Amino acid sequence: MGVVIGLGCAEFPFSGAAAYWRWIDMCEAGAVDSIWQTDRIVSRQPFLESMVTMAALAGRTRRMKFGMNVVSLAFRDPVLLAKQCATIDVLSEGRLLPAFGIGSPLAPEWQALRVDTKTRGRKTDECLEIIRRLWREESVDFSGAFYELKAATVFPKPVQGDLPMWIGGSTDAAIRRTARIGTGWQAGGDPPAEAGRVVAAIKLAAAEAGRSIDEDHYGAGFAFHFGSRDAPGIGRAMGAPTPSAPDATPHMHSRSATPTRSSRASPNMSTRACRSSFLRPLGDDDEAILAQTRLLIEQVLPRAEARRPKRPKVTATDK
């Protein structure tokens, strides 16, 4: 198994829709595996709304997968969210990668939406159960502390028979949640050592629960820039807090190098524990971001692909 590389946006870094779609089209034509959108509802910075973006990507792309990194479930209605995910998965012919989390207690949405941070863990667990059941069952009855359902139904069901459910978060509760029902885990602003600790804990907890998670489904994200750290806007961007981890030090995850150096280091672009990388190109304008993405696609990804271990071919006698 090798590194699976997706690209993503935190803040909306483009001047408008035309530049964004140029970027998406470039990724679709290249070897980018997936597109990820950070979820933020209330912000002074420009952020695209995640579920609307997923629907737009379903219509614009034909090859790439796409997901939200990550939807805070306490801010959403679980029935509506289950319906949205199922619809997008149908229209994209099975390319949605749903990712859910508990949300940072420092996020401004708690106050704006009048949601109590003390209930976020319990609400998240109820939401996850409701969503999973609506995707799989014809009729769902549910009675919890926050939600009540009677004969609730969502049709059409997702195209993916077992729609992935990536989980975010590094707390003990998030680890247990991922081990119990997750099909993948995404690091937020975690330093590499912390991400490695969380992955090891998830694997242990999953094994105790009689489950396992694909090695390619542990992901870490960071910003990247080919060139000088002193380029306009780069140093500031590398040192700024991330939306998912306001107190983190994202410069620890950033790369500022030449494409050749980065391609040689590509197996370690995330942490050793995380086989997937979610990368955010840095630049001070549309053309800079597009140029950074083009360098990644044309010079780094082919070398990274060449270094990946080849999966053995399955023949008729192997089946």
Gap between the Cα atoms of 13 and 233, Å rounded: 12
Q: What is the pLDDT of residue 252?
A: 31
The proportion of the chain whose per-residue pLDDT surpasses 90, expressed as a percent, equals 52
| Angle formed by the axes of helices 120-136 and 78-91, nearest 10° | 40
Q: Which CATH superfamily is domain 4-311 in?
A: Luciferase-like domain (3.20.20.30)
Helices and strands (H, E) in the chain, number of each type? 11, 13
262 pLDDT above the threshold of 60? no
Average pLDDT over residues 292-306: 86
Number of other residues whose CB lies within 10 A of the CB of residue 80: 11
Burial per residue of 127-159, b for 16 or more beta-carbon CB atoms within 10 angstroms, e otherwise: bbbbbbbbbeeeebebeeeebebeebebeebbb
- pLDDT tens digits, 190-247: 677 788 888 899 999 999 989 988 887 887 778 889 987 777 667 656 555 444 443 3
**In the predicted model, what is the mean pLDDT of the chain?**
83
Residue with tokens 């360098």: 295
Least confident piece of the model among 78-87, 117-126, 213-222, 304-313: 304-313
- In terms of Cα–Cα distance, which of 255, 251, 257, 253 is closest to 236? 251
Q: What is the pLDDT of residue 171?
A: 84
Q: What is the pLDDT of residue 44?
A: 92
Q: What are the residue boundaries of the structural domains of the chain, listed by start?
A: 4-311
Gap between the Cα atoms of 12 and 49, Å rounded: 10
- pLDDT tens digits, 23-70: 999 999 998 999 999 999 999 999 999 999 999 999 999 999 999 988
With bands split at pLDDT 50, 70 and 90, how would you rate the model's confidence at 264?
Answer: very low
- pLDDT tens digits, 4-30: 788 998 899 999 999 999 999 999 999
Q: What is the pLDDT of residue 298?
A: 93
